[in-house]
Structure 1
């Protein structure tokens, strides 16, 4: 039997007092968890939620890279959702900007050892999952601008005082069957919105996944196109989601609830 493993991570609160807390990242993750748990196909879904102080670097890596890796079947699909701060940072002696997911216990002055690096750590985790499809969804940003879900690493912040390096989003070498859907481009801000009660990207992603369609599966290309236009319009063009990876007909089940108008 094909199963969907949903790992839902949301971090509002950070142990490092220099990292500003967020308002709706936890709500984003828990909203996905609730819908997955109530959906028509809930018996075929395993939901794993990590929020706030549960979402440590070691906790995330252990859940995905160890516990989940033991039970995933080649017929299965894995969705890993992260809502929280992202951070760009440079390494001493290297003219390269790395992108990090900021965990609850991340230390701003030690991102390499206490955060999750998108390029290396997520690639390593994906390689351990023997699944037919792995989808990463990131409601975080890597521009380092304020007022959103992003912080700047201290070394990059120091370098920016004299010049601003160009940060480019590159296709990550994550292997076949791995897809990334991200809240915005590298030079943009992933916004939260009090009116919506969520991150803007997460709100419209949830809206589309729980909307009815001709089938109970929505293709990732179609999902991206719908969410892209809604987020761009809501943000007046300031936030533009990004999709990359090997799609080839990949899709996600719609989050339809039994007994609802859509179920």
Structure 2
């Protein structure tokens, strides 16, 4: 997530205009703490002007819809990250449109919600989905610390009435790069606790983003790492503090994980540690080489063993075979004076075959064409075809063409011969025929009594 290209709408509602809606004690603290974390240069580093915070009376239905469909939608670009955080009441009522599968309508409750008519005054799941769809960017993250269904309202829960609904989060996560983490499953309550000073979900979310979720210790915290942390911590705290079940929900449609926070100090420290390790390794290799050189200089270590070990100490441990590892262990023991040089050399000769010259592949043999066939045309066939070409030129011509197309040289020659004879015979037969016609015409003329 690029810090400069991230935008967030943070909503926290604890006091409602309708006094029938139970106040929440820590939603304001949740929203403000999350907004502060986003702009903290050591964690998220999002510019302050890229974060809009709506608390209590600021978070009216119009203000929420306007902030998403206008402010957030205009701010983001194709490569941006959009974050929407909501802490407040969620509620359900019978679906007045009868369009849901289970007959239950789900709502988020803005500040000006009327408890007697959620349909007219609250933000329905479908409306919220439509608002999210107006925000066209590469990555969107939705974090919801509210209940949407299930159970009976109890002090400390972010829910008002009895209800049950199908999973409402799947539709919010539709679209590439979309991710939703919700505080509780659809049939559970989301709890807040006085000792924590936050909602249980948000308390552990803040912990996760401040570094507790960094499972691989690389200084970067992704959405998957955050959820892995929340799914362990939130149920544990809900059972301990409220004696209830609260299981976070994760829905995503993304081709790659989204990094939410980075710890520059941790990343710099990791780079420094890696550089120190590399320098220490180079110093160790130089020291070993110096000792090996001294062993060889004193004529105690043969050059062949020295060369083999020099190659092995440059290898990464993961690339070493079991035999090569045993050689290096014995070498270290030799350098410390635990084993003798002779013992090391003997073990080295037994364990590793001396490197031989790499065989150089010779030139590939050039494929030779098959020798020409010497199959001859029988004299009988040849004589018959010559006679046939003389007296039936068309037959001889066709046979000649067939033999001329063969790959065998003698047959090609015979075919050529028959074609020539056929052509000559055709010309001769044509001339003989023409002469016969002329002689016939002359004879007829002489025998005519009227011929003068």
- TM-score, normalization: structure 1? 0.86
2:220 is aligned with 1:221: no
Q: Which runs of no fewer than 5 residues in structure 2 stay unpaired?
A: 270-452
Larger radius of gyration between Structure 1 and Structure 2 = 2
CA contact (8 A) 1:35 1:257 kept: no
CA contact (8 A) 2:30 2:199 kept: yes
2:210 & 2:250 partners in 1: Cα distance? 20
Higher normalized helix content (fraction of residues) = 2
Measure how far apart 1:172 and its partner are.
1.1
1:59 & 1:52 partners in 2: Cα distance? 11
1:176 & 1:49 partners in 2: Cα distance? 26
Measure how far apart 1:191 and its partner are.
0.2
1:215 & 1:115 partners in 2: Cα distance? 42
Counterpart of 1:149? 158
Q: Which runs of no fewer than 5 residues in structure 1 stay unpaired?
A: 158-164
Alignment of 1:2-81 (within 5 A): 3-40=5-42, 42=45, 44=47, 46-81=50-85
1:235 & 1:47 partners in 2: Cα distance? 30
> Quick one: higher RCO (CA 8 Å, sep 6+), 1 or 2?
1
2:264 & 2:153 partners in 1: Cα distance? 37
Runs of 4+ with deviation above 3 angstroms: 212-217, 255-259
Q: How many residues align?
A: 248
Question: Of 234, 251, 254, which aligns to 1:244?
Answer: 251
CA contact (8 A) 1:126 1:178 kept: no
* Residue 70 to residue 235, structure 1, CA distance change in 2 (3 Å): same
CA contact (8 A) 1:36 1:255 kept: no
Counterpart of 1:139? 145
2:137 & 2:223 partners in 1: Cα distance? 17
Counterpart of 2:327? none
CA-based RMSD: 2.3
2:244 is aligned with 1:235: no
CA contact (8 A) 1:39 1:255 kept: no
Higher normalized strand content (fraction of residues) = 1
Question: Of 120, 127, 130, which aligns to 1:121?
Answer: 127
* Residue 69 to residue 93, structure 1, CA distance change in 2 (3 Å): closer
